Amino acid sequence: MGSRVFHITSSNSEIMCPIFPPLKVSDDAVIGLTQFQTYNSIPNIDSKNNSFVYYDEKNVKREIFIEEGIYELYDIEHYLQSKLGEESISIKPNPNTLKCEFFCKYKVDFKAPNSVGRLFGMNQIETQANSTTMSSDTISISKVNSIAVEVNIVDGSYINGVASNCIYKCFITTPPGFQH
């Protein structure tokens, strides 16, 4: 069998390319990936985690909704600063602990349904007004850390000691919206 090249494109997270009739592959055949391109376009904010609930100076519950999209921690901070005031909120990563140092001049409820707090590592807590809180968990800003390309006629790969059909795996290292 001669060389074959398949060009596969899609905007879905899982791509399948059924081949009919099936390829007949000899035992000494080699399968390889010549090129893989993707954009970092996987949203990390959606309707399940886009709510920021706080209590204003009069202890009235307020809610800010963040539009679905791809955000870095500083993007969320800037968006909330535009709504609350620049000095009203600070969301900073601690590079040593991978946790979040969070300050808000208002009381914040990260226990609220669909809270953005899980991305900050804030697990089911309320923060007090005018205080800095360190997240209990590490920052979890990305839903997807790596991309795996699997081909069902490939074997010999292992992931954590388990046989896999993985032909290529990479970590997402580019900022949102950029090509990987």
Residues 55 and 119 in one domain: yes
- Residue 37 falls within a domain, yes or no? yes
- pLDDT, residue 44, reads 92
Q: List Cβ neighbours of 17 (8 Å cut-off, separation of 6 or more).
A: 6, 8
**Number of Cβ atoms within 10 Å of the Cβ of 54:** 24
Residue 140 lies in a domain: no
What distance in Å separates the CA atoms of residue 134 and residue 102, rounded to the nearest whole number?
6
Write the pLDDT tens digit of every residue in 95-147.
999 999 999 999 999 999 999 999 999 989 999 999 999 999 999 998 788 88
Determine, yes or no, domain membership for 139.
Answer: no
* pLDDT the model gives residue 11: 76
Q: How many domains are there within the chain?
A: 2
- pLDDT digit string, tens, across residues 66-95: 999 999 999 999 999 999 999 999 999 999
Strand locations in 23-127 (E)? 51-55, 61-65, 89-94, 99-104, 107-109, 126-127
Q: What's the rounded mean pLDDT across residues 56-70?
A: 96
| Cα–Cα distance for residue pair 52/104, rounded to 1 Å | 12
Q: Mind listing the pLDDT tens digit for each residue in 146-163?
A: 888 888 887 788 889 999
Secondary element (H or E) of residue 78: helix 73-84
pLDDT at 23: 80
Identify the bridge partners of residue 52 per DSSP, sorted by sequence position: 64
Return the closest-CA partner of residue 76 out of 48, 45, 43, 40. Answer: 45
Same domain, 77 and 18: no
Residue 75 domain boundaries:
51-134
What's the whole-model pTM score? 0.77
Is 7 a domain residue? yes
Determine the pLDDT at residue 62: 98
Token pair for 83: 């709504």
- What does the pLDDT read at residue 180? 66
129 and 164: one domain? no
Q: Looking at the structure, do residues 59 and 121 belong to the same domain, yes or no?
A: yes
The reply to whether 1 falls in a domain is yes
| pLDDT for the residue 37 | 82
